[in-house]
Amino acid sequence: MGFLIDNRKCIGCHACTVACKSEHDVPIGVDRTWVKYVEKGTFPNNRRLFTVMRCNHCEDSPCTTICPVTALYRRDDGIVDFNNERCIGCKACMQACPYDALHIDPVTQTAAKCNFCTHRVEIGLEPSCVQVCPEQAIVAGDLQDPNSNISQLIDRHPVTVRKPEKGTRPNLFYIDADAASLVPTHAQTQQDYLWSSSAEESPAGLNNRQLVEFQGIEECHRENAKRVYDVRTRKPAWGWEVVAYTWTKAVSTGSFLATGLLFFLSEDGLSKDGITSGISGKLLALTLIAILFLLLTMGLLVADLKQPKRFLNVLLRPQWGSWLVRGAYTLIGFTIVLSLWLLGIVINCNTLMNWVLGPGVFFAILSAVYTAFLLAQAKGRDFWQNPLMSLHFLSHALIAGGAVWLLIEFLSPSIGAHPNAASGMTLVGLIVSAIAILGEKFTAPPTSDARLAMKMITSGENGLWFWGGGVIFGHAIPIILLFTQITPLSPLATIFSLFGIVVIESLWIVCPQRIPLS
């Protein structure tokens, strides 16, 4: 099943939007189907474009791949439907959809979107939007039936789909489509029209001319394409909770890597006589910090859900293709390993610790980097489709673990001291992180959205945070302080490096979400 929008006929009456709201009792403030207005040209040589936006019911739907509980699924007839009784409200589907088709229903606090009016289709009726369209500009039907109206229209006329480069194979086609309307960033945002206040002026403080010139859209700039009526721009779906979760996860995994390195470097790792009092306190402190921040990580993950009471669905009804599920089980594995490691310290059993060390390092590294694979599943955000993301998160774990270890060494310098190892771990993490940042800046995916996201991070108000907080205070100053090995300044280097992680993670998570998708 698929949709066809004939832009030659659409008059922008919004009958489809109203019918959809009435049919599904869609709350005010969100839409499953809406009409976008774009104006091109200068009077008297101007025109207005009407474009119907909705779910594309993709054959390779990224929303169903990333959904951890199969709340979104593709039916045998090709319709991508959803089950709001299973949805946990993780908002991952909103990040995965390149077409901005999903939203959180403010009443049910679950994901929702166009479902092709399945309750009507199953009894032989057309979707409500098709039924009410006065111009028959919306056509629905069986794409595999050569005799269906939609198949014949597609055969007879050139059609366009949105973002074919995503490889989702969408089943929503347009006749007489215009790039200024289909590509979200091609049309400039305006504040000069009655209804345009619903849209943001521009992301990251860039004015319209800078935005257009940066993207190199000279044709649209010359044709004066403007978005004059649209739904309200959605705020970033993943906010401070996700930023905090990546930071606490870095501290937890890094602290275990630090305690593992401390154990390995000491003679206790090879001794059968148990752990000496020289490092037992530091091992215990690092392990407790790792456990504490792992619990905070899990708490933040649950707190970010719109339906936190359904969190167990991730474990009991898992969709194994989602990295949310794989990540949840990875964190559980890491929790088990940390518990055994703590037991080994408490009962002073080197054999147990030697047995746990290898699996612990594996789960710590996997816990640190799995978020990169989750972000890669979020196909709606081009900036996150970068293979260096794994290196990015691993380096932050090394920085956080080394910084925590260095603080402990500073507070107890005379007991089993390994300050050089702690500062070396932090220094390696900072250097690798700096390389990853530079690599991501110069090897961002070759799309305008990814380049715009990097421009947003490094320019304007965000640029002050990036260059000042992330690069200078978060990387350059700590590297200098650690190289000079001035012991009284070690706490300053650790505080700056931990602060730098927060800044970089915040920019990397939030800024790409401000790129419009529809």
pLDDT tens-digit map of 15-63: 999 999 999 999 988 999 999 999 888 888 888 999 999 999 999 999 9
Which residue carries 């995965």 as its tokens?
96
Instruction: Specify whether domain 240-514 bears CATH 1.20.1630.10.
Output: yes
pLDDT at 222: 46
With the C-alpha atoms ordered 279, 285, 286, 288, is the resulting torsion angle positive or negative? positive
- Residue 104: both structure tokens together: 């959180």
What average pLDDT does the segment 384-388 reach? 90
Cα–Cα distance, 384 to 465 (Å, whole number): 20
pLDDT at 417: 56
pLDDT at 438: 86
At 244, is the pLDDT very low, low, confident or very high (cuts 50, 70, 90)?
A: very high
Cα–Cα distance, 305 to 271 (Å, whole number): 46
What average pLDDT does the segment 419-425 reach? 85
pLDDT tens-digit map of 339-365: 999 999 888 888 888 899 999 999 999
Q: Which is higher by pLDDT, 274 or 319? A: 319
Of the candidates 172, 160, 182, 165, the residue with the CA atom closest to the CA atom of residue 57:
172
Question: Which amino acid, residue 171?
Answer: N
pLDDT at 215: 47
Asked whether the predicted pLDDT for residue 219 surpasses 70, the reply is no
pLDDT at 43: 83
pLDDT at 226: 83
Q: Residues of the chain with pLDDT > 90: what percent? A: 66
Query: Among 189-203, 228-242, 279-293, where is mean pLDDT lowest?
Result: 189-203
Domain 2-229 -> CATH class: alpha beta
Asked whether the predicted pLDDT for residue 252 surpasses 80, the reply is yes
Asked whether the predicted pLDDT for residue 509 surpasses 50, the reply is yes
Q: Which is higher by pLDDT, 309 or 214? A: 309
At 418, is the pLDDT very low, low, confident or very high (cuts 50, 70, 90)?
A: low
Please provide the average confidence, as pLDDT, over all residues in the chain: 88
Asked whether the predicted pLDDT for residue 467 surpasses 90, the reply is yes
- What is the reported pTM? 0.90
Q: Where are the domains of the chain?
A: 2-229, 240-514
Written in H, E and C, the secondary structure of 429-495 is HHHHHHHHHHHHHHCCCCCHHHHHHHHHHHCHHHHHHHHHHHHHHHHHHHHHHHHHCCHHHHHHHHH
Q: Which is higher by pLDDT, 272 or 262? A: 262
Which residue carries 């009435």 as its tokens?
22
Q: Residues of the chain with pLDDT > 70: what percent? A: 89
Of the candidates 195, 167, 145, the residue with the CA atom closest to the CA atom of residue 36:
195
Asked whether the predicted pLDDT for residue 220 surpasses 70, the reply is no
pLDDT tens-digit map of 134-188: 999 999 999 999 999 999 999 999 999 999 999 999 999 999 998 888 988 888 7
Helix (H, G, I), strand (E, B) or coil at 21: helix
| 240-514 has the same fold as 2-229 | no
